[in-house]
Every structure is written in structure tokens, then in C-alpha cells.
Structure 1
Amino acid sequence: MLYVSTRGKTDLFSAAHAITRGLAADGGLFVPQNIPAMRMVDIKAMERKPYTERAVDVLLQYLTDFSEDELRECVNAAYAPEKFGDNPVPLVQVNDNTGVLELWHGPTSAFKDMALQLLPHLLTRSMQKTGETNKVVILVATSGDTGKAALEGFADVPGTQIIVFYPSEGVSDIQKQQMITQAGKNVKVFGIEGNFDDAQRGVKEIFGNTALSDELEKKGYTFSSANSINWGRLVPQIVYYFSAYVDAVKAGKIAAGDPINFVVPTGNFGDILAGYYAKLMGLPIDRLLCASNSNNVLTDFINTGVYDRRREFFKTVSPSMDILVSSNLERLLYSVTEHDAARVADYMKRLNTEGHYEIDSDDLKQIQSQFFGAWVDELETKEAIGRIYNDYHYLMDTHTAVAWRAMEKYRFLTSDETYTVVLSTASPYKFADSVLAALDDAQPQSSNPFELLQKLHADTGTEIPPRMLALENLPVLHSEVIPADKMELAVVKNLV
């Protein structure tokens, strides 16, 4: 399997090269030259396998320069029971035709662990395969969860250094505490004055600065990424769609071959894009429901074909989705335009220079046949948390609540009662203040995040993730906040 850039101006590369580099030299994203197919008989055979073996089955389709034994070693280390428990991704049945796929049982209590516990293993193997001798510098822009998950995965990994940028006032208290207390000789964390889009734009500009890259290359550094622009971050996420499907078959909710819907709360479009690739591979997915919060640029795009980031930015109770520039949409455009790299490059240029673009009507019809877009405001998010807890005694975080409510809107509009899996992307304890407010219909009395954890536990009887409790006594190691236009300077200062 070889990889190409969505913008068409690079050569073909191996998976190891794509993972090591992260972003293509022309600014595009690496994508597989062809999408591999999986037969239903092979999908059904996953029922009898643990998650680690399901992961090997899927990853082998894409990472063909890795041996089966290499991938098995990587996934066994990444998804070890001491990190994820016995089942990394349990499918919880909430009602007769809806399950919730809990993706937050890893070290940082967020779905990003599913990829970022594996990526360091894939990256170090890739460096060996490509003969990379430079130190690989991982640059990360985060809206809250990716940063901590990447730090946790790459801390003290030999041959790497990781620098994370997060919006200083745009993440939850627990998310911030997780990042600024991160230990490791090779880690550095910066808050920035701005939002996630500012951080993401800054990282992309650093990647695109060829003079800087060349200068640092001479000094022994090579840039890479742990954001979902890196194929090594995205490909592990395909696995849990297959896993959820076979678990639904195993539970008797569907028969093998029956269609299924997935609803995904997404800002950067990576998580739902993994589901799209699973569908292209042969998984019987009928519709992918793209759930947005008040920053509803993706909903508008799916409904109109116009992507327009020139709009008000909202800070919401689901901050990991507070994004107006969804990087992974570029990969979807490359697919629906039948690999028309020139057209994709033009869309991305227009987005960068004019702030908007519009796709062809035929491409829009293709997207609408597979995706449904809906957005959910703050009141609806909180109402869904309280109602689902009262009706089913199931506690969900703010992002999962956005997805649940979007699913309800879809079912109301379409009368489609296909069995549906809601992707739950974070523990409710990461957003305890908002969850408590939703349950009590009042603002929590305390502003101390650790007191809020205890109150949520007392009110619901659910378990606080042990690592989250331990944060209270950890020292702050990263307190620097910088202007967004000083990100490149911060990188250079920390490398030379």
C-alpha cells in the first residue's frame, strides 16, 4: 500500500514514510492510493477475537510495510489491560435500537487514547524502516483532548520531542490540568492567546515553512504531527467501527450484513472520516451522522456544499468541538472528487485566502447520500444529559450529548430507526461542571474542579477515573502562555 498527497504534488510514499512525516511536503494530507476491501466473512470472524486482534486485522490492510508480528507487538503494548482494562471499547446498550461506544477508557479518559497510545509505537517502527536518524519533533495543536493524549503517548519516547499548543481559555479545567502537569524530559506545553483554529493554523504554518524545516534538519530535527492530519493517528480509529459492528452482531442487535448507523461528535472531521473509510472497506454502514455544536460549519457544509469559516466563534460546553477549520475534510473531498488533487488544492487555497469555498453539486449529492449533518446548541446539550440520565440512568459527557441529540433530530426528520451507535468521546468527569449543571439545572456551587469530581461521583455513583483524581496533587510544570503569532519562535527556542 502506497500513499499520495491530497494535493498531488508529491511522489508515492510508504506507510512508514507517511507516518514519520505526518504532513505531505505540498501541504496536503497523506491518503492511501487505494482503499482495501474486507469481506463480510472476515468481518464476522472478528466476533471471536479480542480488540487487539481486531486491530491487527484492520491495520494489516493499510500498513503493508509492517509485518503481522510487528503490528501485534504494537497493539498489545498500546492497548495493554493496565491502560484500558479488559475491553478498551465497550459497546453499552442504552435502549433497544441505540448503543453507545465508550472510547474513553484509556489513560487520559478521551477517545484520542485509542490512536495516541498506538501512534508512538508505529512512529518508532516507521523511523527504523525509513532510516530516520534525526530527532522527530511532534507538533500538536489541541482543542483539549489530543494534547494530553499525545503527551501521555510520547513522553520520554526515545528519538522524539513533543510540543503541544492549546487555547489557554478554550479547554476545561481538567483538560488544562492534565496538560500543564505532564512530566517527561521531551515534552513542552504552551497555552496560546486564541482558539483552536489559531493553534492549528500556527502548526500548519510551521510545517509549511520549508526554510525553517531545512535549517532544523541540518541541526538534527524533523517535524511530524500527532494530530489527525497524520495518517498514523487516523488509521487506528477505523478499527473501532468494525469492533462496534461485530459487538452489535454479537449482542443480537443486528445480523451480520445488516446496515448500521453511527453518530459522531466531531470538530476536525477525523473521527467520522475513519467511519467513512470503514464504510468504503465494506462495513455495512448506512448513514454517518455528523454532530456539531454551535460552531456548526460542518452542518452547513453537508447541507449546502458551502464551507465558510467566516463566522462567529463560540466557546461552548463541548470545547473539543469548538473548531471552524476542519482539516480532515480535505481527505473526504479527495475521495468524492475521485482523487482530483488539483480541485482539492484549489478548495484549500480558497479557504485559506478567501475563507470559504463551494463544492460541485454532484460531489455534494454524494456526500449527502452518506452523511447527515445536524447541530445542537447549549441548552439542548444540557437537556440531553439530564434526560438520558433520568430515563436510562446513563451518564454522558457534553460531546456525547451533542451526538445523542443530533441522532434524535435525524430520527425525527427521517423516521429511520436503523440500529445506531453513538460514539462517546470523553468521560463525563472531564467536564464535571457542565454535567453537574445539566443534572441539577443549576450552576455548581464550587469552582474547584476536584470538588466537582467528588460531587458528580456522590450524585451519580459512577467511578472517577483514578488518574484524574491524582491530578490534584501534581505540580504545574508548564505555565507559559504566548501569543498565537509566536508559536514558531517558541518551537525554535525549545529546539536550538
Structure 2
Amino acid sequence: MKYTSTRNNRLHISSAEAITKGISEDGGLFVPETLPKINLEFIDKLCALDYQARAVEILSLFLTDFSREELVEYTKGAYGSGKFSSEKTCPVVSVGDGLNILELWKGPTCAFKDMALQILPYLLTASAKKIDNDKQIVILVATSGDTGKAALEGFKDVEGTNILVFFPSDGVSPMQKLQMTTQEGENVGVCAIKGNFDDAQNGVKAIFTDTEIKKTLDENGYAFSSANSINWGRLVPQIVYYFSAYCDSVNAGEIKMGDKMNFVVPTGNFGNILAAYFAYRCGLPVNKLICASNANNVLTDFIETGVYDRNRSFFTTCSPSMDILISSNLERLLFMLCDYDDAPIKDWFTKLKDSGKYEITGDVLAKMQTVFASGCCDDEETKATIKKYFENKNYLADTHTAVALKVYDDYREKTGDNTPTVIASTASPFKFCKAVLEAVKNGNIEADNEFDMLKELERVTGNVAPKQLSELKGKTPRFTDVVEKNEMTDMVFGQLNIK
């Protein structure tokens, strides 16, 4: 299978080259030229397999320059040996009334990003060898919270790699910040920037596509890659868990083979829900993909109207991993909806860069609205939903999952759609102790620091915090740098000891 760029459809490269590069030299994102066709017989066979084996079957369809033996080795390394606290890796929990929650946060950093970032180091280092890249790989990451820690954990002390993570100084939860700044490993770096996630992401993209910076790295034996979902190697493992959730729902008797399902995904950079769209395009029986946003509702407006306009207020919310106004992976969706025509993509994203706004109309908008629905909610509604599901369903959701639950409740009330539904639960509630505790206790918090709140949340709810979070108590941050947006390049050179 070959890959092309959203901004140059004449480009044809292997999956190994796409994964190693991360982003195309023209600024576009890599997309498979064709999609595998997955029928119900194939899905039925997946139902009898465990998660590792399901991953091998799906990944082998997309990564055709990897042997089956390689993929077996990589999935075992990523999802085996007790790395995930659930035997099912990402279990599906039923809360009744046809509603199921896919818990994607059972990995080492308690966020859904582990599902891809535990296997990406295997894919990336192997890809570099396949294309005879003997340079040290420099991984730059912009994070709104969860990607940073998951990438650091995945790549720590991986031979032949260096990783530097940028996060917005006031745009992550205290637990997320502590997870990143206490990271162990000899090849890792972490830096806060004065700005929001979009500033961090734009800075990383600018560094990636700067020919002078790339030339300097090349002369010093380095080459860039990415661990954000702009990298195909980050996105393709996420396709697996939508097929897996469907299989688990069949096995649990929630649906019959061939029945359609809705998937509701709390969405920021559009990677997670895009993986669901890839699964749908390949043959997963999907009724609707429901895009759930917080107060930063640029995607809600876009799906409803076709107008993408980032010229709006930016809100810092209690679901910080979704505090994004520029959703990078939307470019891949539009490229596919345009039948791989790169001309409108270049036009729209030039307009986005120049004016912060573009509009899709006609057939492209109609095709998007056939599959996607959307909704949003604010912090008050998010916390009310956490309380509602804890009291009524005995289910404790984090703030991002609660956004998805609220959007789903509104969607179901508005449409009357009773299709069996899966909510993508993206993080442990203990990563956002203050907001979750405020929700279940109506704001009456006794604790005054993050770890006392963690203990109080355990006591109040009867849930046990993941030990990798509780064990952060008392750890001293290794990384304390805070820089301006225009100083990000200096941090990269400093990490690599380039003068």
C-alpha cells in the first residue's frame, strides 16, 4: 500500500517513509492511496481474537511493507507484559440503555494516547531502518496534555531517538504537568510555552517545514519526525480499537454482527474520531460518528454549517486536552471527502493560514454531514454530567468523557436515535481530580492540593486511583523551562547540543 499527501496527490511513498517523515515536505499529511475493504466475515474472525491479535490483523492491511512477524513482535511489546491494567487492553463497559463506554486509558499514562504511543516507537525505529535512514530521529511533540506524557513514556531511552515535548504553560491539568515534568529517561526533554496548544502546534509545524532548520539538523546527523497524530504511525493503531470495540459489543450480546453502531468521540485535534472514520470507510458498520467539543466549539460549528472559523475566543476549560481551535487531522478527512483532489485542500488551508477561515459547500459538506453529527457543552454542563452518571449509573467519568456523554444525551434527545452507542473514554478521572471532585461534591472540596484531592476522590467515589498517578506525589520536576513561542527552535537546538 502506498501513501500520498493531502497537498500533493502525485506523491507515492511507502508506509515506512510516511511514518519516518511524519509530515510531508509540502506541509500536507500522509493518507493511504486506497483503503482496504473489511467485510463482516473478517470482523467476525476478529471477535475470537485478543486485542494484540486484532491489532496484527488490522495493521497488516495498512502497513504492507512490514512482515506479519514484525507486527506480532511490536503488538506484543506494546500491549503485552502487563503494560495495561486490563486484560482486554481497552475494555467496553455497558452502562445500560444501549450505551457502552470504551475505556482507552488503561495504559501506563492513563490516557487513550497510550493505545498508539506504546507501539509507535517500534513502528518508527523499524521504518527508519527500512528506508536506510541512519540519522538520529528527533521527535517533536506539541501537546494539550495527554500526548506529551504518552509520547515521553513510549520513547524514553529508545535507541536512536530524541524527544522534546512542548505544552502550553497554563493549558494542562496539574497532574498532566507533573506527569510530563518528572519524566525519566536520558533522551527526553519537556518545555512549557507562553501560549495555548495551537501556538505550540503551529510552532512545531513551522520547525518541521523550515528548510534551514532541517539542513542544520541533517548536517549534525539528525532528522525530524512526529509523535502527534499528524504522523500516520500514530493514527493507524487507533483504527484498531474501533473494530475491537465493535467485536466486544458483539461478544457481549449488545449487538448482532452487522448491526450499526454510533461512536461518540471527545474531539480536539480530530485524530481520534478520524480513526473511527477510517474504520467506517473500510467497512465497520457505523450509523453516526458524533463529534463532541467543549466550549472551544469550532468543530461543532464546522460540521453544522461547513464554515471553519478560528477567529473566536479561546477558552481554558476543565477538559484541557480539547482546548484547540486548529484541528490538524481535519485536513485528512476533507482530502478523502474530495476524492483525493489536493487543489481544494491547498486552497482551504491557505485561507485558514491567511484569514483563519474557510468554507466547504455542496457535495463535500453533504458527504460529511451524512456520517458526522456534532455537539458541544460548557464546563458547568460537563460537571453536571459527571455527577449525573456517577449518581445514576455508578460510573465515574473524566471531564473529556463527560463532554462526550453530554453531547450524546443531547443528540439522543434531539434525534430519537436509539442505535447502540459507544463512547470513547479518553482519560482516567484521576488525571483531573479537582474538576471531577467538584462535580461529585457540588464544589465542596476539602482538599487543597492535587494529591489530597486524589485521596478525597477515592474516598468519596470508592474508585481507586491508578498507582502511576498516586506515585507522582513527592516527585521533583526535572524540567522547568518556560519560553516564548519564538524561542522553540532554540530549545530544540539546545536539547541536541547544536550551537
Using the size of structure 2 for normalisation, the TM-score is 0.98
Structure 2 residue aligned with 1:191: 192
> 1:81, CA displacement in angstroms?
3.9
Matched, 1:149 2:154: no
Structure 1 residue aligned with 2:229: 228
Matched, 1:364 2:375: no
Query: Is 1:9–1:26's contact at 8 Å kept on the other side of the alignment?
Result: no
Structure 1 residue aligned with 2:37: 37
Structure 2 residue aligned with 1:17: 17
> 1:10, CA displacement in angstroms?
6.2
After superposing on structure 2, the runs of 4+ consecutive aligned residues of structure 1 that deviate more than 6 Å are none
Ranges in structure 1 where 5+ consecutive residues have no aligned partner: none
> 1:136, CA displacement in angstroms?
0.4
Amino acid at match of 2:34: N
Query: Is 2:29–2:331's contact at 8 Å kept on the other side of the alignment?
Result: yes
> 1:346, CA displacement in angstroms?
1.1
1:336-485 aligned at under 5 Å gives the runs 336-485=337-486
Q: Secondary structure at the match of 1:27?
A: coil
1:99-114 aligned at under 5 Å gives the runs 99-114=100-115
CA RMSD of superposed structures (Å): 0.9
For residues 169 and 448 of structure 2, the distance between their equivalents in structure 1, rounded to whole angstroms, comes to: 17
For residues 459 and 35 of structure 1, the distance between their equivalents in structure 2, rounded to whole angstroms, comes to: 48
For residues 184 and 229 of structure 1, the distance between their equivalents in structure 2, rounded to whole angstroms, comes to: 24
Matched, 1:51 2:51: yes
Structure 2 residue aligned with 1:331: 332
For residues 10 and 473 of structure 2, the distance between their equivalents in structure 1, rounded to whole angstroms, comes to: 47
Structure 1 residue aligned with 2:166: 165
Q: Secondary structure at the match of 2:287?
A: strand
Bigger Cα displacement from structure 2, 339-348 vs 417-426: 339-348
> 1:211, CA displacement in angstroms?
1.4
Structure 1 residue aligned with 2:266: 265
Amino acid at match of 1:52: Q
For residues 435 and 70 of structure 1, the distance between their equivalents in structure 2, rounded to whole angstroms, comes to: 41
Matched, 1:63 2:63: yes
> 1:443, CA displacement in angstroms?
4.7
Q: Deviations over 1:277-321 (max 9, x none)?
A: 000000001100000000000000000000000000000000000
Identical-residue share of aligned pairs (%) = 53
Distance 1:347 1:147, change over 3 A: same
For residues 57 and 94 of structure 1, the distance between their equivalents in structure 2, rounded to whole angstroms, comes to: 29
> 1:474, CA displacement in angstroms?
2.1
For residues 443 and 26 of structure 1, the distance between their equivalents in structure 2, rounded to whole angstroms, comes to: 52
Structure 2 residue aligned with 1:322: 323
> 1:153, CA displacement in angstroms?
0.2
Amino acid at match of 1:31: V
1:52-131 aligned at under 5 Å gives the runs 52-85=52-85, 86-131=87-132
Matched, 1:249 2:241: no
For residues 347 and 9 of structure 2, the distance between their equivalents in structure 1, rounded to whole angstroms, comes to: 13
Q: Secondary structure at the match of 1:258?
A: coil
Amino acid at match of 1:217: D
> 1:9, CA displacement in angstroms?
6.4
> 1:463, CA displacement in angstroms?
1.3
Q: Deviations over 1:88-144 (max 9, x none)?
A: 110000113000000000000000000000100111111111111100000000000
Using the size of structure 1 for normalisation, the TM-score is 0.99
Query: Is 2:447–2:456's contact at 8 Å kept on the other side of the alignment?
Result: no
> 1:442, CA displacement in angstroms?
1.1
For residues 444 and 27 of structure 2, the distance between their equivalents in structure 1, rounded to whole angstroms, comes to: 44
Structure 2 residue aligned with 1:3: 3
Q: Deviations over 1:225-249 (max 9, x none)?
A: 0000000000000000000001111
For residues 396 and 405 of structure 1, the distance between their equivalents in structure 2, rounded to whole angstroms, comes to: 11
For residues 389 and 464 of structure 2, the distance between their equivalents in structure 1, rounded to whole angstroms, comes to: 18
Query: Is 2:269–2:329's contact at 8 Å kept on the other side of the alignment?
Result: yes
Q: Secondary structure at the match of 1:338?
A: coil
Q: Secondary structure at the match of 1:124?
A: helix
Q: Deviations over 1:21-68 (max 9, x none)?
A: 100000000000011111111101111100000001100110000011
Q: Secondary structure at the match of 1:263?
A: strand
Q: Deviations over 1:367-401 (max 9, x none)?
A: 00000010011111000000110001010000000
Q: Secondary structure at the match of 2:105?
A: coil
For residues 448 and 312 of structure 2, the distance between their equivalents in structure 1, rounded to whole angstroms, comes to: 31
